[in-house]
Structure 1
C-alpha cells in the first residue's frame, strides 16, 4: 500500500500558512503532515508527483521526489519531500528535507539532478528511516493521481 491522502478543508496553522491536513501511508506505517497550499494548490502537488513518478516509469530513472511543501524558491530555506527509490520490484521510501543553500541555481526544472542517492546510513553511522513497499503500489498511486487530474 502506498498513498498520500489529502483532506479537503483548508485552514491557517499557527505560523499563518494556509494548509490542508494530509497523511502518507506506506503499508502499515502512516504519518500526518501539513501540506501548505498558499503557493502550490493541491493539484500542483499531484501534477508534480505524476511528473516525478513518470521519470521512473518512462525515462528509466531509479528515483522520484514527492514534494510535501512548496514555497517561492527565492524565499524558502528548505522543502519537505518523500523520495521513492526503485530497486527491482521494490520501492524504498525516505523522508527528505532539501536545503536550498546546498544547491546552486536551485529550480524545479532541474530538481531531478538534486535528488540524493539512496543512503541507508547517515554520516554518523545511524540507520536512516526507510519504508519499503512493492513498486506496483507506487504505480497504483500514479494511476490514481492521473485519474484524479482528468
Structure 2
C-alpha cells in the first residue's frame, strides 16, 4: 500500500519523513494482537510544480508492505503535526491515461452519459519530480 501525505513543508527530506512515519508505526495496534505488523519499505517526496502559476507543492509517499498496517497507520497519522503541518494522509491510487476506461471507448453505450469523458481531465501542465534522499558515506560499504 502507498500512503499519500499531502502539503508537506519545502524543507522536508525523505529521511525526515521516513523517521517520523517509522516512529508513528511503533504505536500502531492491530487486531488480533498476535498479528504481525507490516513494515515501512521507503518514503519519497514529490515536488509538484504548476507550470502556469509557478506554484510548488510537496507531497510524501510512504510505502507499506501490508494493507492492514497501512490502514491503521493512516488513522494514526491523521491530524498529527509534522514540522508544523497538520497531516491528512490517505491511500495513494496510481493513475495513468492508458488505464482510463472512460476515454476512447469503442462502445460508449456501456456506461452512463454522465460518466463519459471526451478528453483527459488530468492537468497536463504539472511537472512532477521525486526528491532523492541524500547519499550518506555509510551507504557505500565495500
| Superposition TM-score tier, normalisation by shorter sequence | under 0.3
**Structure number with higher strand proportion:** 1
Higher relative contact order (CA 8 A, sep 6+): 2
TM, length-normalised to structure 2:
0.28
TM-score by length of 1: 0.27
